[in-house]
């Protein structure tokens, strides 16, 4: 549980046995992934494996309200294998919550996934 886990550094939030942090830089997916790795905590763009993790990340997006930005890169991508999505941290893809109509590989040019929040 989050209460039992005490290993997150400052500015990171524990959800279950993982630590999450959001960053405001606007950048390409690959750069965002590399930037996460540079934190040296075996960190990657976030993988989302449960509704609890999704709701936490949604709350982060809502709280930011930065230039009305409610999108954030997550680790899901198919950069390596065409049209087979995988998490950049190696987690098995066992939880997804695609927006209606996604993934649609628009213009054959979409290899990476953004979390997106919209008010109901
Ligand atoms: Ca799309």
User: Is 55 contained in some domain?
Assistant: yes
Q: How far is the CA of 50 from the centre of ligand 1 (A)?
A: 22
Please say whether the beta carbons of 20 and 57 come within 8 A: yes
Task: Name the DSSP class of 107.
Answer: G
Taking the centre of ligand 1 as the mean of its atom positions, its distance from the CA of residue 43, in whole angstroms, is 26
Question: What pLDDT, in 10s, does the model give residues 89-115?
Answer: 999 999 999 988 999 888 777 888 988
What confidence category does residue 7 fall into, taking pLDDT thresholds of 50, 70 and 90?
confident
This prediction's pTM: 0.83
Domain count for the chain, please give it: 1
Q: Are 58 and 117 in contact (CB under 8 A)?
A: yes
* Dist. CA 70 → ligand 1 center (Å): 16
For the chain, the straight-line distance linking the first and the last C-alpha, in angstroms and rounded, comes to 29
Write the CATH number for 41: 3.10.100.10
Cβ–Cβ under 8 Å, residues 35 and 23: yes
- CA of 84 from ligand 1 middle (Å) equals 14
Q: Tell me the residue range of the domain where 89 lies.
A: 18-116
């Amino acid at each position: 549980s989050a209460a039992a886990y005490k290993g997150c550094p400052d500015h990171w939030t524990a959800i279950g046995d993982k630590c999450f942090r959001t960053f405001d830089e606007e950048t390409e997916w690959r750069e965002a992934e590399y930037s996460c790795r540079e934190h040296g905590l075996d960190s990657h763009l976030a993988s989302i494996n449960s509704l609890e993790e999704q709701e936490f990340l949604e709350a982060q997006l809502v709280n930011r309200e930065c230039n009305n930005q409610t999108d954030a890169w997550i680790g899901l991508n198919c950069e390596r294998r065409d049209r087979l999505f995988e998490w950049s941290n190696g987690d098995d893809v066992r939880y997804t919550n695609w927006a209606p109509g996604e993934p649609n590989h628009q213009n054959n040019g979409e290899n990476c996934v953004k979390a997106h929040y919209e008010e109901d």
